[in-house]
Structure formats: structure tokens, C-alpha cells
Amino acid sequence: MLPSIIDVARENQLTFNERSLNKKEVMCKCPFCLADANNPKKFYLSLNPDKNVFKCWYCKEYGGVLQFESLVTGNSYEEVRLKYFGDIKKKYHPAELLSPKQLKAINWDEIKRKHNDEYKRSLENVFADWKAHVHSQRILAFAKLLIGIESKKYQLICENIKKQALDSQVPNLLEDVLEMYSSSEWKSWALEAREIAVSALLIARKENNELANALVYVVFAFSQYNQKNKNDNRRVG
Ligand SMILES: [Zn+2]
């Protein structure tokens, strides 16, 4: 059902090292970092047709064939998955639609790789962890947004939240918090974020570089918030 990573590379016009074509590791020019672009002898991207995975020895980008196609075509991971598996939303558990990088963000990637049976039994937990992750990332992003607006550094804070979306692998993070900000009724996560932002601003206001300091306090307050939640969950569970 899955395409071969070599075919995906060909369809997307990657440049092969012809001499590596029959080897275990097929080498290409890396389309992600382009670090080998100006040196005809260097090919940093390694494709492994047996395992159907890729890795760049220079920029360390790596993953499976779906992730690869998603990166080289610019289509989302889910679009690529749907291309090969059809409309699988009904048949598959939502946790199975998470990408390898999203699983890594919630520390399930290794368990999936090394203990797949345990992973398959744990899909409910995986998805619960993912929802908790999205929830807490939204709180952090929303607190940042409020501080950015208050400090009149809107553009700067939007860039910061876009980077957070990449790091945390939560798609549409900026869009979601902007939509919440302009909605007439803030959900509980927005209200929690406001509390964090208000206390961060109160502390930062006493100092000079208000925005930078407020952001530091937000990240600090957020880590405390996360810690407290983890402890509460442990007590309940
Ligand atoms: Zn690279």
C-alpha cells in the first residue's frame, strides 16, 4: 500500500548519486537543507528502500516515506496519508492519524517503534496525551498573544507562536488562538491563559524590557502550570 521511497524521490525530481542506486543506502542531494548543492561529489540525503525511511546526514531531517512525500511536495502529512489509504477516518483510531513528529512531541515515538503491540493497545492513552498537549500549547500560545497585544508587539508575537507551532507540531496553532481571541466567548483554556499572562505582565512591568521579560515569565508560569496538572492527574489516576 505504501509507495517506495525511491519512487517518491524520482517523482519529485531529486538528484541521485547514480553509483549508489543498487546499494542498501541510496544517496541523493538533500532538498531540505541544500547543504550539498554546490558540491558535485556530496550527497547528504540517504534513502533506505528496505525500511522505506530517509535521513539527511547534514541537517538530520528524517522520517518514513509518508513524512518524506509530505516534505518534498509541501502537502500536509494527513493529505499524503489520505492519498494512499483513502478516507480512513472512520476505520482508524484518531491517534493513528498522528504523524511521527507529532508522536515524538508527546514521547510516544519510541514506544511505537520498539513496542508496537503495546503502542496499539495504548491508542486511547496516546490520543489523550495528544489532546492534553494541544490544550497546553494553546494556553501557552494564547498567553503569549495577550502579552504581544498588550505590549503592541503583535507581529513579533505571531512569529514566536508560528515557531512554537513548528516545535510542538500542533497545526493551526496561531489560527486557533487568533480565532479564540476574536470570539465573543473565551473557552476555559483561553481564560487560564489570561491568568498566566496577567501575572506575567504584572511582574514584568516593574522591569525595563517588558515584552521579553513577560515572555520569560509566561514560559515559567506555563511550566509550573504543566507540572501542577501532571501532579493532579497522577493523584486522580
Ligand atoms: Zn539535509
Q: For 65-99, how does the pLDDT look when each residue is reduced to its tens digit (9 = 90+)?
A: 999 999 999 888 888 988 888 765 557 788 988 98
Report the mean per-residue pLDDT for the chain: 89
Residues 88 and 80: beta-carbon distance below 8 Å: no
Q: Please give the Cα distance from 225 to 222 (Å, whole number).
A: 5
Q: Please give the Cα distance from 51 to 216 (Å, whole number).
A: 42
Question: What domains can be seen in the chain, in order of their start residue?
Answer: 5-90 (3.90.580.10), 126-236 (no CATH)
Q: What is the pLDDT of residue 85?
A: 81
CA of 36 relative to ligand 1 center, distance in Å = 8
CA of 225 relative to ligand 1 center, distance in Å = 37
Q: Please give the Cα distance from 120 to 112 (Å, whole number).
A: 8
The string of pLDDT tens digits covering residues 28-74 is: 999 999 999 999 999 999 999 999 999 999 999 999 999 999 999 98
Q: What is the pLDDT of residue 89?
A: 53
- What is the mean pLDDT of the segment spanning 10-15? 94
CA of 58 relative to ligand 1 center, distance in Å = 5
| Total-model pTM | 0.65
- What is the mean pLDDT of the segment spanning 6-30? 95
CA of 45 relative to ligand 1 center, distance in Å = 6
CA of 39 relative to ligand 1 center, distance in Å = 13
The radius of gyration of the chain's CA atoms, rounded to the nearest angstrom, is 21
CA of 166 relative to ligand 1 center, distance in Å = 18
Residue 42's contacts (CB-CB under 8 Å, 6 or more residues apart) are: 35, 36
pLDDT at 236 over 50: no
pLDDT at 208 over 90: no
H/E stretch holding 67 reads: helix 65-73
